[in-house]
Structure 1
């Protein structure tokens, strides 16, 4: 019952946001005052001009729930290390399995949905994540945990490209803002990992992961409410693309721009930059808590505070990154986000504990301020392949970062965690290569 009521309210709100005069135009049909074709043109104009905020907030909520379920995995590391006697290498393999399935499959899903999208794929993916939550709660050994996180990863891989497509269709003319609203949800979900460790997993132990099934059930309910709007919007968008193909110049087909050498170079460099950021992010989100316990003598609960500050500041940085991109340009924001945090990252492993808290907060804001901007930049480079562009920047690049998680875990076992964390502090310097990216004008020209 509540789903039907919510669906009716959402449809009314979206209808109200489709532009001034639309309702009166529909009434005029019966009076013969407005041709049906002009109303269709008006409706399609909203696809590129009107931002549908209720839809953005709804999909951002689902993003929060999805990434909260993913956050359960690293949040459980210290618990699983004790209950299942895991090594750092096994911790790295668990993170690898999660990120590889949730990331490498994203471009595959995105490529498929670019050709044939289905609004009901996302609830199915959340069902897989639900099974993964149950699996972690009752896993008797390392291999069962590994299988469970694969289910969670597959559910995330199905959601992310389709979620980005909903944002693309609901963004109107505010791409940077819309993507930031969406990514804020995801980063907020990831930032809950330390809090879940303190208030759920530390008191309850491994069985506490079963609470993640509530997150999955809520996400499925919201997605079922969104599905009718998404289905209708997709139909309008396909019709608009068909009109553009019909009016395009002979010999120039939509999608050809992605084969241009300049576009290939930019996409390759962008993926490499996200790859480096993912390695550094993995070092903080997964291994920094162990570094704090070993080098500073903190307890499991105390080690979550700096980690939470980093992730929570990243949520704020993600939102303002989109605002900065609209004001100062996408390329400038990307350069600032990856390279701007390099001095702070280099200092972090050597600071007294008192200074760790403010510095890691600022570092989280800067590093993640370009998170949503890289997705929008990729979509401008590949305007006819939105799902693929989103999958490459938020999926494949993070999968490459998952390899870093395994390498970091193995290196920590061999050389010591302290030396590994000091090595990782140099990774943000790779962001200086962002200077070589094409300017915003060139990317918008491609779009």
Structure 2
């Protein structure tokens, strides 16, 4: 191919959005995160079948979150230096073995080991998946990340259904069915990896040259950039802590204050998660149209009035407010990823690892803090105070415009 033809092909690839790749990637994200949701969904089953203590269940949850979340920036740094297309199917193969181990684990130690493999697969998948979304985005980066991220949020929202339809009737061995889910994801990711390799062959020279020019012009980690990135991560932590408070403790609040059954409380939680998945999808296109910083600001500050009044309204209004809160708050989920990637060009994997992986790790720590707070001051007051977290979104005004 001539240099002129190569340049023309590269420019076309850079501006066109590859929706086929994005949809397949979003499906893989759904499959991956639904598998990850199996672990906490199995807690009641494991507690009953193996006699595990709450401390042991906490260790399992901590192991999953730390491996799958904290390792993401490490994977991102490694793949920023040397992209590895086939890390995607290899990572999901690790998840496949982890799920199989979880289904047939004879002891607590084996469960922790199985969860390690599931977390490792997820740690590899997320930063590399975000890189593929970035590569396939063309000029629609917000939309591309939304398609990718909405798959993951939908997979997480399936946890209540997984528990009711599969794990309750089949028990621990019911997790074995998710090896089929993992196998399907591996097959799809092999296709993604082949496209990824071809895309690298097409534009790697142009990207290298662009990277050299960018580095020559400005240090990507200047003091100002580090301040903006730290502020962005703080805002993500505030969002993660609020979501963690709702997903982990609102069901107990609804049972105590509205007299709900467990099933009805889970229904409210499912509505919040589904609305959040929809918000994730629409947030990206809105950011492409109105600006990323504006959507981040609106998603947090716009949530605050709703989250503050939610504990004080009747159950019907609480359901509506819960859905609106999930939709508005999560509209910035994919947007913060793209904002960070554009804030520090050339570090797609690292920025994805920090904004998605580390955020979930902080959400896990938030669960511990909020749980301790609920024990000390009561659940109702903890839910009320949690509603003020989105007000921290006003700090978004300190971030630079897109």
Q: Is this a same-fold pair by TM over 0.5?
A: yes
Aligned 1:273-284 pairs, distance under 5 A: 273-284=235-246
Offset at residue 117 of structure 1 (A): 1.5
The answer to whether structure 1 residue 337 and structure 2 residue 299 are counterparts is: yes
Contact 1:379–1:390 (8 Å) recurs in 2: yes
Partner of 1:439, secondary structure, is coil
Offset at residue 187 of structure 1 (A): 1.1
Contact 2:79–2:128 (8 Å) recurs in 1: yes
Report Cα offsets for 1:239-296 as digits up to 9, x if no partner.
11234367x4xxx626944222221111101111111111111122233333334444
Segment drifting more, 406-415 vs 157-166: 406-415
2:280: which partner in 1? 318
2:130: which partner in 1? 164
1:150: which partner in 2? 116
Partner of 2:85, secondary structure, is coil
Aligned counterparts of 2:271 and 2:102: Cα–Cα separation in 1: 26
Indicate how the Cα distance of structure 1 residues 164 and 413 shifts in structure 2: closer, same or farther if over 3 A, else same: same
Aligned counterparts of 1:98 and 1:413: Cα–Cα separation in 2: 24
Contact 1:89–1:409 (8 Å) recurs in 2: no
Contact 2:72–2:124 (8 Å) recurs in 1: yes
Report Cα offsets for 1:399-427 as digits up to 9, x if no partner.
22221122333444555444433332222
2:41: which partner in 1? 75
Aligned counterparts of 1:362 and 1:114: Cα–Cα separation in 2: 37
Report Cα offsets for 1:195-221 as digits up to 9, x if no partner.
212222233333332222222111001
Contact 1:68–1:192 (8 Å) recurs in 2: yes
Aligned 1:242-391 pairs, distance under 5 A: 242-244=208-210, 248=213, 253=215, 256-391=218-353
Offset at residue 231 of structure 1 (A): 0.6
Indicate how the Cα distance of structure 1 residues 414 and 153 shifts in structure 2: closer, same or farther if over 3 A, else same: farther
Aligned 1:202-221 pairs, distance under 5 A: 202-221=168-187
Segment drifting more, 138-147 vs 310-319: 138-147
Partner of 2:345, secondary structure, is coil
The answer to whether structure 1 residue 189 and structure 2 residue 155 are counterparts is: yes
2:61: which partner in 1? 95
Offset at residue 100 of structure 1 (A): 1.8
Offset at residue 232 of structure 1 (A): 1.2
Indicate how the Cα distance of structure 1 residues 299 and 81 shifts in structure 2: closer, same or farther if over 3 A, else same: farther
Contact 1:111–1:388 (8 Å) recurs in 2: yes
2:202: which partner in 1? 236
Partner of 1:270, secondary structure, is helix
Indicate how the Cα distance of structure 1 residues 363 and 79 shifts in structure 2: closer, same or farther if over 3 A, else same: farther
Unaligned residue ranges in structure 1 (runs of 5+): 1-34, 441-447
Offset at residue 353 of structure 1 (A): 2.5
Aligned counterparts of 2:110 and 2:217: Cα–Cα separation in 1: 42
Indicate how the Cα distance of structure 1 residues 287 and 201 shifts in structure 2: closer, same or farther if over 3 A, else same: farther
Aligned counterparts of 2:256 and 2:182: Cα–Cα separation in 1: 35
Unaligned residue ranges in structure 2 (runs of 5+): none
The answer to whether structure 1 residue 106 and structure 2 residue 68 are counterparts is: no
Aligned residue among 435, 444, 447 for 2:397: 435
Aligned counterparts of 2:63 and 2:248: Cα–Cα separation in 1: 14
Segment drifting more, 408-417 vs 230-239: 408-417
* TM-score computed with the length of structure 2 as normaliser: 0.92
Larger radius of gyration: 1
* TM-score computed with the length of structure 1 as normaliser: 0.83
1:41: which partner in 2? 7
Aligned counterparts of 2:27 and 2:134: Cα–Cα separation in 1: 16
Segment drifting more, 353-362 vs 127-136: 127-136
Partner of 2:215, secondary structure, is coil
